[in-house]
Amino acid sequence: MPTHSAIVSTPSLDELREQVLEANLELVRRGLVLYTFGNASGLLRSEGWVVIKPSGVPYEKMKPEHLVVSDIDGKVLGGSLRPSSDLPTHCQLYRSFPDIGGVVHTHSEYATAWAQARREIPCLGTTHADYFHGPVPVTEPMPEQEITGEYEKNTGMAIVRAFRNRSPAALPGVLVANHGPFTWGPDPTTAAHNAVILESLARMAFLTVTINSEAEAIGRSLHDRHYLRKHGPAAYYGQTKETR
Amino acid sequence: MPTHSAIVSTPSLDELREQVLEANLELVRRGLVLYTFGNASGLLRSEGWVVIKPSGVPYEKMKPEHLVVSDIDGKVLGGSLRPSSDLPTHCQLYRSFPDIGGVVHTHSEYATAWAQARREIPCLGTTHADYFHGPVPVTEPMPEQEITGEYEKNTGMAIVRAFRNRSPAALPGVLVANHGPFTWGPDPTTAAHNAVILESLARMAFLTVTINSEAEAIGRSLHDRHYLRKHGPAAYYGQTKETR
Amino acid sequence: MPTHSAIVSTPSLDELREQVLEANLELVRRGLVLYTFGNASGLLRSEGWVVIKPSGVPYEKMKPEHLVVSDIDGKVLGGSLRPSSDLPTHCQLYRSFPDIGGVVHTHSEYATAWAQARREIPCLGTTHADYFHGPVPVTEPMPEQEITGEYEKNTGMAIVRAFRNRSPAALPGVLVANHGPFTWGPDPTTAAHNAVILESLARMAFLTVTINSEAEAIGRSLHDRHYLRKHGPAAYYGQTKETR
Amino acid sequence: MPTHSAIVSTPSLDELREQVLEANLELVRRGLVLYTFGNASGLLRSEGWVVIKPSGVPYEKMKPEHLVVSDIDGKVLGGSLRPSSDLPTHCQLYRSFPDIGGVVHTHSEYATAWAQARREIPCLGTTHADYFHGPVPVTEPMPEQEITGEYEKNTGMAIVRAFRNRSPAALPGVLVANHGPFTWGPDPTTAAHNAVILESLARMAFLTVTINSEAEAIGRSLHDRHYLRKHGPAAYYGQTKETR
C-alpha cells in the first residue's frame, strides 16, 4: 500500500509530474481512452523514480499531486493513491529498455483490434515508415503460468521477448496479443505522441487490407528514406534548433 | 394512463430520479443514442418503484420531474407523462434478476449490428474480459405469438431465457436478436457505464473479425485473470475505499 | 432566372421558410452534409409554393430570406438567388406524392454507399422497422436519354417509378442509384428527421452485413409490430397530445 | 538554409500568405491532418514565388509570417523557418501543370488507404463525378534510384507521369502509391477544398466496395452530366456572379 515519505520533491520530479499528467490528458484529447482506461508514465532515470497515473481515477479530476511515484521495481514511494495496476509492465520496460523515459498503454480501438486479431501491423505506407522502422510487432500469447503468476510484470517480459531481435528505438511500440498497444519514447510526451500515431497507422492499415487483402508492405528503400528523413543524423524534417 | 398520487417523494426516490436522469444523459454524451432513442431506468427495491425515462421526450429538455414512476409490474404510479414503451422489458428484468438496480436500453450502432447479425460477441481481448465474464449472449428470435402478444414483456422473457445458465452479475448485458442491447448493473450509473463499454467492445470485435475472420476467443485463464482483477474479493483495480 | 413579385409573404409562408431553413441546418448539425451539399424543401400545398435552399450558398450564412420560392413546376416566383439545382426532383415528388410536404436530399456517406452499391437496404432490425415499413428501395439506373434530357426532373420520375407498388407514407425515402438518398415526410422537419434516421440505418446495415454476410431480414410480424407501435391509429410510442 | 531578403512584401503576396494559411487551417478543421502532418501551398505565378507551410510547426501557432517563400525551383527566398520537406513536390507540380495555383498534401486516412492499397478510386457515384472527371489515379511505385535520389522532386515527377494522358484540370488530385493524396486547383482554397472532397469520395468508395465488391463505375453520360453541370461554360450549379 502507498506510503508517504521516501521521495523528496525536486524541480526535475515536479517537471516530470507535469509531463506525465499532460501525456495522460493527451490520450483523452485524441480519443484514445474511454473512462479511466489507459495510463502514461515517466521515468527519472537519475533517481530511478517512476511517475504514473493512479488506478481508476477520472482524467478530468487528475492533478499532478495525484500521480503516484514508485521505484523502478514498482515499490510505491509516495502518494496516497494506488498506482495503475499496469505499473509492473511499465517498470519492466524501463528496466529492459535503457534508453526510454516514457511509457503509454491504451486500449485504443484500432490498435487493440490488431492485437486481438494477433496480427502485426504491416508497413503499408510512408506514414508508418515515418515512425516505425518495420512492422509493429505483436507478442506471443503468454503461457498459463505467466498469467496466473505476476501477470503484469510478465506482460512486460512478453514485450521484451518480442524485442529480442528488434530495436525499441526504431520500433517505439508493440501490440500485446489479445490485449492492446504499449508505446514508449525518450519521454512521456513522445510516448503519448507515438500512441496517437500508432492508432492512426492501425486505422489506415485496417482500411487498406479491407480494400485490398493482398496489399503489400512497402519496399525497403522507401521505408528507409522516410524513416531516416525524420530520424537520425541526416534528418531534414521539422525545424532544427538553430532555425527554430 | 398516468395518474398522480400513489407515491410519496422521499430522499431515496429523489436521489434515484437524479441518477436515472444522469444515466440517460450519459447515453447522449457518449453518442449511444439518436434523438429520443434509448432509455435508462432505476429500481428502488425497498418500495418496488421503478423510475424510467418518459417516451419520446427530447433529452436536452428532460428534468428529474419528467421521469415516470411505476411499480415493478409497470403500473404507472405518478407523473403526467407516458413511460418509455420499453418499461415492461425493464420490469421483467427487475423481477427476474434480484440483484440489479438499473437497466439501460440503446440502439447503439455496433452493438445493434451484432444483434442484427444474430451473433454473440466473442471475448477477443482483455477489454472485454474486464467487464463481461464470457461472450455477450444474443437472445433467440421470439416466436410469432410472443411478438403479437405482450411484446415488450416477452422481450424481457427472451432475455431471461438466455440467462438460464448464465449469471446476470458476471454478464451485465445482452443483445436482443434483430433489436439491440440491454445492459444492467447494481444501479443506473453502472448500467449506463456498461452500455458504453459494450458499444466499445462491439466496435473492437467488429474490427477484429474484419481483420482476421479466424480470430479466436482468449483463453480461460487470461479471461479470468482480467475479470477477477476488477471484480470480486481479490480485485486490485481502482482505489479501495480506504485509499481513495 | 429569379424574378421578384409573384408571391406575397404570408404567415404560413414565413413559417415554412423558418422550417425549411431549420431542416437544412439539421442536416449540418447531424453531419449529413459537407460544404454546400444537400438540400431541404417544403411545400405550401394550398398555394402550390415550394420553398427550397439556394444553390451553393454556405449553410452558416443562410437566412430565411435567402430561400427561393417556386411554383410546383419549379418556376421561380421570388428571391434573388438561384434555387438548388435539384429543385425539379423535389417538384416531381410533390406532384406525384400528394401527401408529402417536405423533401430532403443529401449525400450522407453510408446511405450514398448503398446507393452506389445499387443495393436496397434490407430491414435487419427493429430500428429500421420503426421508420421504414420494408427495405429502403433503390431506383433503376436511368436510361441515356433521361440523363441527357431533363435530368433532375427525370431523377424524380425514376423515384416515382420505384414507388409504383410502394407507399411513400410507409417508406419515406429512397436511394437514387449511383447518386444518394432522398427522404420526405408531411413537413420539412420530418423529412430531415428521416434523412438522419436513414443514415443511421444505412450505417447499421453496413456493419451487420460485414459481420454476417448471410444476415437475414427480420420477420413480417416483428416488422409490423415495430412499425405499427410508432405509426397509425394504435401507435403507443411517444406522448399523445393529451398527455404531453 | 533560409535567407532573408530576396523578396519584397506586396499586396498580392500578403493575400496569398493569408490564403495559404487559411488552406492549411481548413485541413485541420476538416480532420484531414494529425499533428503537423500535411501541407498547403500557393503560387504567385507572376513572380514565380511559392508560399508554403513551414516544416513541423504546430497549426494552432501558425501565423502568415511563419510561411516560407521560395522560388519555383524550391530555393528559399525569405522567412526564418525551413519549408515543408515536400516543397520540391509542390514545385514540380507548379512547373508541370501551368494552370494550377495551389497544391495540398495530406495523409487523410481513407484516401491514404486507397494509396496504400495501390488502387485507383473508381467513380462510383455522382458525388465523385461532380468533382473528378474519371477515376482518381494512383502513381506507379517509384524505382529505387528515384527514392534514394531527389526523392521529393521525383515524387512530383511520378505524379506528372501519371498525368501524361490525363488533364490536371479535370482530375484535380492523385494518390501517390504507398504514400497519400495530393490535390490542386487554381488557388490554395480550391486545392484544400478538393482535398476534403477527395477524402469523402475515398470513404464512400471504401464503403461501397465493402457492401458490394462487384460495384460498377457509373456510365459515361451520368458522369459527364454531373461533371459538366458544375464545370465549364454550361454549368448551372451555384450562384452566377450576376445573381449572387
Instruction: Answer whether D210 sits within 8 Å of A212, measured CB to CB.
Output: no
Residue (of D102, D103, D121) closest to D111 by Cα position: D121
Instruction: Answer whether D243 sits within 8 Å of C2, measured CB to CB.
Output: yes
The Cα C78–Cα C51 span in angstroms is 10
Instruction: Answer whether C179 sits within 8 Å of D125, measured CB to CB.
Output: yes
A234 by DSSP, 3-state: which?
coil
The Cα B175–Cα B182 span in angstroms is 6
Strand partners, C40: C104
D124 touches C: beta carbon within 8 Å: yes
For B133-158, write each residue's pLDDT tens digit: 999 999 999 999 999 999 999 999 99
pLDDT of residue C50: 98
The Cα D217–Cα D209 span in angstroms is 11
Contacts of D109 in chain A (CB under 8 A): 200, 203-204, 207
List, edge to edge, every strand of the sheet that includes A180-185: A76-78, A68-71, A49-52, A39-44, A102-105, A180-185, A173-176
Instruction: Answer whether D126 sits within 8 Å of C57, measured CB to CB.
Output: no
C132 CB contacts (<8 Å, ≥6 apart)? C123, C170, C171, C172, C173, C198, C201, C227
Q: How confident is the model at residue B243 (pLDDT cuts 50, 70, 90)?
A: very low
By the 8 A CB rule, do B75 and B61 touch? Answer: no
For D201-237, write each residue's pLDDT tens digit: 999 999 999 999 999 999 999 999 999 888 878 888 7
D207 touches C: beta carbon within 8 Å: yes
What is the nearest CA distance from C123 to chain B, expressed in angstroms?
9
D205 touches C: beta carbon within 8 Å: yes
Contacts of A2 in chain B (CB under 8 A): 243
In the DSSP assignment, the letter for residue A38 is -
Query: Using CB atoms, which residue from B200, B211, B236 is nearest to A119?
Result: B211
Q: How confident is the model at residue D80 (pLDDT cuts 50, 70, 90)?
A: confident
What is the nearest CA distance from C181 to chain D, expressed in angstroms?
12
% of chain B surpassing 70 pLDDT: 95
Secondary structure in 3-state letters for chain D: CCCCCCCCCCHHHHHHHHHHHHHHHHHHHCCCCCCCCCEEEEEECCCCEEEECECCCCHHHCCHHHCEEEECCCCEEECCCCECCCHHHHHHHHHHCCCCCEEEECCCHHHHHHHHCCCCECCCCHHHHHHCCCCECECCCCCHHHHHCCHHHHHHHHHHHHCCCCCCCCCCEEEECCCEEEEEECCHHHHHHHHHHHHHHHHHHHHHHHHCCCCCCCCHHHHHHHHHHHCCCCCCCCCCCCCC
The Cα B21–Cα B15 span in angstroms is 10
Contacts of D127 in chain C (CB under 8 A): 37, 107, 112, 180
By the 8 A CB rule, do B89 and B182 touch? Answer: yes
Average pLDDT on C115-130 reads: 98
Query: Using CB atoms, which residue from A204, A212, A243 is nearest to D119?
Result: A212
pLDDT of residue A94: 98
Find cell 448503398 and name the residue: C114
Give the count of alpha carbons within 13 A of D189, CB side only.
Answer: 5
Minimum CA–CA partner of D32 in chain A = A200
Tell me, yes or no, if A237 is annotated catalytic. yes
For C176-202, write each residue's pLDDT tens digit: 999 999 999 999 999 999 999 999 999
pLDDT of residue C240: 60
Kind and range of the H or E element at A76? strand A76-78
pLDDT of residue D100: 98
Residues of the domain holding D98: 4-235
Residue (of D170, D161, D171, D158) closest to D121 by Cα position: D171
pLDDT of residue B8: 80
Instruction: Answer whether C35 sits within 8 Å of D125, measured CB to CB.
Output: no
pLDDT of residue D240: 59
Query: Does B241 map to a domain?
Result: no
The Cα A110–Cα B186 span in angstroms is 31
Buried b (16+ CB within 10 A) or exposed e, C215-243: bebbbebbbebbbbbeeeeeeebbeeeee
pLDDT of residue C9: 81
The Cα C41–Cα C104 span in angstroms is 6
Question: Residue B192 pLDDT > 90, yes or no?
Answer: yes
Question: Residue B5 pLDDT > 70, yes or no?
Answer: no
- Mean of per-residue pLDDT scores for chain C: 93
How far is CA A160 from each of CA A32, A157, C58, rounded to the nearest angstrom? 24, 5, 55
φ, ψ dihedrals at D197, nearest 5°: -60, -45
- CA-based end-to-end distance of chain A: 46
Pairing of strands C102-105, C173-176: unpaired
Query: Using CB atoms, which residue from A205, A211, A218 is nearest to D178?
Result: A218
Query: Does D33 map to a domain?
Result: yes
D115 touches A: beta carbon within 8 Å: yes
The Cα A211–Cα D114 span in angstroms is 7
Catalytic option among D59, D71, D130, D151: D130
Instruction: Answer whether D118 sits within 8 Å of A212, measured CB to CB.
Output: yes
Domain count, chain C: 1
Tell me, yes or no, if C59 is annotated catalytic. no
The Cα A185–Cα D211 span in angstroms is 40
Query: Does A24 map to a domain?
Result: yes
% of chain A surpassing 90 pLDDT: 86
Q: How confident is the model at residue D127 (pLDDT cuts 50, 70, 90)?
A: very high
What is the nearest CA distance from A179 to chain B, expressed in angstroms?
5
The pTM assigned to this predicted structure is 0.95
Query: Does B244 map to a domain?
Result: no
Query: Does D242 map to a domain?
Result: no
Q: How far is CA D156 from the centre of its chain?
A: 12
By the 8 A CB rule, do B91 and B72 touch? Answer: yes
Instruction: Answer whether C1 sits within 8 Å of D212, measured CB to CB.
Output: no
Find cell 407498388 and name the residue: C165
Instruction: Answer whether D147 sits within 8 Å of A236, measured CB to CB.
Output: no
Catalytic option among A59, A71, A130, A151: A130
Report CA torsion sign: A128, A131, A135, A141. negative
Find cell 494559411 and name the residue: D21
Question: Poorest-confidence range of A55-64, B83-92, C13-22?
Answer: A55-64
Query: Using CB atoms, which residue from A207, A229, A243 is nearest to D113?
Result: A207
Query: Does B98 map to a domain?
Result: yes
The Cα B209–Cα B114 span in angstroms is 12
C139, C178, C179: best to mutate for the D interface, most D CBs within 10 A: C178
What is the nearest CA distance from D146 to chain C, expressed in angstroms?
38
The Cα D65–Cα D86 span in angstroms is 19
Contacts of A222 in chain D (CB under 8 A): 141-142, 147, 178
Instruction: Answer whether C56 sits within 8 Å of D204, measured CB to CB.
Output: no
φ, ψ dihedrals at B132, nearest 5°: -125, 120
By the 8 A CB rule, do D162 and D138 touch? Answer: yes
The Cα D67–Cα B197 span in angstroms is 44
C210 touches B: beta carbon within 8 Å: yes
**Predicted complex ipTM:** 0.94
Question: Residue C123 pLDDT > 60, yes or no?
Answer: yes
D200 touches C: beta carbon within 8 Å: yes
What residues of chain D, 132 to 191, have a C-beta less than 8 Å from chain A?
141-142, 144, 147-148, 151, 178-180
Kind and range of the H or E element at A40? strand A39-44
A14 CB contacts (<8 Å, ≥6 apart)? A64
Minimum CA–CA partner of B126 in chain A = A179
pLDDT of residue B138: 98
A234 touches B: beta carbon within 8 Å: no
Long-range CB contacts for residues D143-152, cutoff 8 Å, separation at least 24 = D144/A219, D144/A221, D147/A219, D147/A221, D147/A222, D147/A225, D148/A221, D148/A225, D150/D88, D151/A225, D151/A229, D152/D85, D152/D86, D152/D87, D152/D88, D152/D89
The cell for C236 is: 403507443
The Cα B184–Cα B190 span in angstroms is 7
Contacts of D229 in chain C (CB under 8 A): 85, 151
C213 touches B: beta carbon within 8 Å: no
The cell for C117 is: 452499391
How far is CA B134 from each of CA A179, B123, B219, C23, D129, rounded to the nearest angstrom? 16, 6, 11, 45, 48
How buried is residue A47: exposed, middle or buried, by Cβ count under 10 Å (0-12/13-18/19+)? middle
Find cell 503484469 and name the residue: A152
What is the nearest CA distance from D241 to chain C, expressed in angstroms?
11
Question: Residue C4 pLDDT > 70, yes or no?
Answer: no
D58 CB contacts (<8 Å, ≥6 apart)? D35, D36
Query: Does C62 map to a domain?
Result: yes
- Mean of per-residue pLDDT scores for chain D: 93
φ, ψ dihedrals at D210, nearest 5°: -75, -40
Instruction: Answer whether B113 sits within 8 Å of C208, measured CB to CB.
Output: yes
D67, D81, D116, D150: best to mutate for the A interface, most A CBs within 10 A: D116
Strand partners, A229: none
Instruction: Answer whether C206 sits within 8 Å of D210, measured CB to CB.
Output: yes
What is the nearest CA distance from D108 to chain C, expressed in angstroms?
16
A157 CB contacts (<8 Å, ≥6 apart)? A92, A146
Query: Does C218 map to a domain?
Result: yes
Question: Residue D6 pLDDT > 80, yes or no?
Answer: no
pLDDT of residue B236: 81
Report CA torsion sign: B190, B194, B195, B200. positive
What is the nearest CA distance from B231 to chain C, expressed in angstroms?
30
Minimum CA–CA partner of C33 in chain D = D200
What is the nearest CA distance from A113 to chain B, expressed in angstroms?
5
Find cell 503516484 and name the residue: A68
A140 by DSSP, 3-state: which?
coil
Q: How confident is the model at residue C1 (pLDDT cuts 50, 70, 90)?
A: very low
In one-letter notation, the amino acid at residue B24 is: N
pLDDT tens per residue, chain A (244 residues)?
A: 444 456 788 889 999 999 999 999 999 999 999 999 999 999 999 999 999 999 989 999 999 999 999 999 999 997 789 999 999 999 999 999 999 999 999 999 999 999 999 999 999 999 999 999 999 999 999 999 999 999 999 999 999 999 999 999 999 999 999 999 999 999 999 999 999 999 999 999 999 999 999 999 999 999 999 998 888 788 887 886 443 3
The Cα B226–Cα B202 span in angstroms is 18
Instruction: Answer whether A200 sits within 8 Å of D144, measured CB to CB.
Output: no
Residue (of D202, B150, B239) closest to A57 by Cα position: B239
For C61-96, write each residue's pLDDT tens digit: 999 999 999 999 999 997 789 999 999 999 999 999
Query: Using CB atoms, which residue from D80, D112, D210 is nearest to A210?
Result: D210
- Any idea what the CATH number is for the domain that residue B123 is in? 3.40.225.10
Strand partners, C174: C182
Mutual angle of helices C188-211 and B109-116, in 10-degree steps: 60
By the 8 A CB rule, do D138 and D217 touch? Answer: no
Query: Using CB atoms, which residue from C82, C116, C148 is nearest to D239?
Result: C82
